[in-house]
Chain A
Amino acid sequence: MIRFINDVCTICKRELIKFFRQKTRIFATIIQPLIWLGLMGNTMSRLTNNPFTSQIFGTSNYLSFMTPGIVIMTSLFGGIFGGSSIIWDRRIGYLDKLLSSPINRTSIPVGKALSSMIQAAMQSSIIILIAYIFGVRFVTGIPGIIVIVFFCMLFTFIFAGLSLIIGTTLKTIETFFTIINFFTLPITFSSTALFPLEAMPKWLQFIARINPLSYAVNPIRTLTIKGWELSSLVQGLLVILLFDAIMFMLMFQTYRRLTTE
């Protein structure tokens, strides 16, 4: 067990060193949420000016409604692109090095996912800070924000895992991005990340109800605009943990038998 944690840390450390060295990537992680919040948040802000819609959104500030959506969407993107590193490692031959060493095989995806989780934690903190500057007030304060960041990390693990599994079956980064792009936006827009369930047509409501993204965004939104509502938090946490556990099992299965064929 200690060895497994050590192995995970080794893999994660390598990814993080590389992340912090890429100045453009750090810059993009800051600028992207700024654009989402500044542009999208402001163009849509009139939506909540009307008392009827503000009731549906649960707040009179659309930015407050949208911030949790942006936070979780950024975690989704961060996680789902995490799989590209396994394809890159395969291409430069580094995967051979990892697989020919005696490390625990599962630690490879878990370590990479952990680095995505840490990046997601930093990104969501930045978004929360920017949102605060734009006037969003988090009703649960600092403790609530810590829980939000924690939710983001757990959520990132799901999609980082998924993409690290898909990544093992692909040979080129191009195909990987095609596949990933194919489902990131549909996942985002068929969830309650940017629009409330009540404002959706029936068929979309159905999809939004089974979309894991909705389960992650709901507790975060509760913490942002409603307060400590235990049932929403526990429900969200259980669903996310369930998906995390499934991903962990799948990663274990995939990487245990992985060869470089």
Chain B
Amino acid sequence: MEAIISIENLKKRYSNGVEAVKNVSFSIEKSEIFGFLGPNGAGKTTTIKVIIGLLRATSGKVYVDGIDITKNPNGVRNLIGYASQETSVDDNLTGWENLSIQGKLYHIPIKEIEERGKELLSMFNLWDRRFDLVSTYSGGMRKRLDISLALIHRPKILFLDEPTLGLDIQTRVSIWDYIRKLRCDFGMTIFLTTHYMEEADELCDRVAIIDMGEIKAIDKPGKLKEIIGGDIITFTLKDGENKNRFLEEIKRIENITNVKLLSNGIYQVIVTQNGDKIIPELFKKSNDLNVEIDSVRLKRPSLDDVYLYFTGRSIRETEESKEDIMRRNITIRRARR
């Protein structure tokens, strides 16, 4: 397979000193759906914005279809479509006006804009509402319109930044269908970011887990789950003097490969197989040592666990700027309309 995007040692430090992306390298293959999975403020949007030339990299190289964005920005811009996190359609214009202006921004002849516009709006089920102001659209319709705007110039690569942020589950599933269709029908390469595990699991051929500006893991969702191994037991403990000894002892139980503290006293035990048979053994040990187990849960590995395994904490204080938070709130508010 040939790489359509390749990133080498990308670094981005903002003028306020925040290092949003630290030395990231990866490549995306043609016709691949590639997902960037990470918490808010992990550096997902920054990476996308550097690739499409909205931000300048502090150092490193970015090639899109062999073109260096810093040398030939317009060459790259004609190859890519971008639908931002904010669903940046203009509320005070109709759907059709949004589309025709977008077409003109890409210097497409008017006749062609009309043909493609009809095709796109029909595909995204917006044709009947094309002459209505976007401010009357629902969150899902706005998102669909935004994606169709990003496709007007028939890009080879589509960048979707948090395509389903703030949308309800039915709308989310329908957006997923559209994304799959784009790849199937047009062989488009799709780069999306998300912090929803099921989205990455469901859609992506490969997933990169990014946290604090670094790629922690990159592989097929199935392979990532294999890294974690078999089953996962999470439990919480009541405070007791033998707590640490208990944790040491259970590491010696057969089939337990790792014991990790996640947060707030939640422990994660990774078991190669037969997690259900390990639980009684945990209780036996805890009885022997007089440690009280508060709650226990057994689960098959999901991408969630892979994610938590690599990013460490379940809830986090992100270092987002006030501006980022405000923008996200606007996005969510607008999407829920």
Q: Which residues of A contact B (CB under 8 A)?
A: 3, 6-7, 10, 13-14, 17-18, 21-22, 91-94, 96-103, 171, 259-261
Contacts and interface: CB of A to CB of B under 8 A. Distances in A.
B36 to A, nearest CB: 17
Given A93-B88, A96-B49, A102-B106, 16 more contacts: A10-B104, A17-B92, A92-B88, A94-B90, A96-B82, A96-B84, A97-B82, A97-B105, A98-B105, A99-B53, A101-B77, A101-B106, A102-B74, A171-B323, A259-B55, A261-B15
A212 B247 CA distance: 78
A13 B101 contact: yes
B33 interface: no
B51 to A, nearest CB: 10
A3 B15 CA distance: 34
Contacts of B327: 91, 93
Contacts of A261: 14-15, 55-56
B56 A259 contact: yes
A112 B91 CA distance: 18
A17 B97 contact: yes
B305 interface: no
Contacts of A22: 92
Contacts of B49: 96, 260
The 4 closest A-B pairs by CB, nearest first: A93-B88, A93-B86, A101-B105, A10-B104
Interface of B: 14-15, 49, 52-56, 74, 77-78, 80, 82, 84-88, 90-93, 97, 101-102, 104-107, 149, 323, 327, 330
A100 B104 contact: no
B280 to A, nearest CB: 54
B260 to A, nearest CB: 37
Contacts, number: 79
> What is the predominant secondary structure among interface residues of chain B facing chain A?
loop
Contact of A6 (B82, B93, B97, B104): B104
A103 B86 contact: no
A97 B74 CA distance: 14
A209 B268 CA distance: 77
Given A14-B93, A96-B82, A102 B107 contact: yes
B87 A93 contact: yes
16 contacts: A13-B101, A17-B92, A17-B97, A93-B84, A93-B85, A96-B49, A97-B149, A98-B105, A100-B53, A100-B77, A102-B77, A102-B106, A259-B56, A260-B54, A261-B14, A261-B56
Contacts of B54: 96, 99-100, 259-260
B105 A92 contact: no
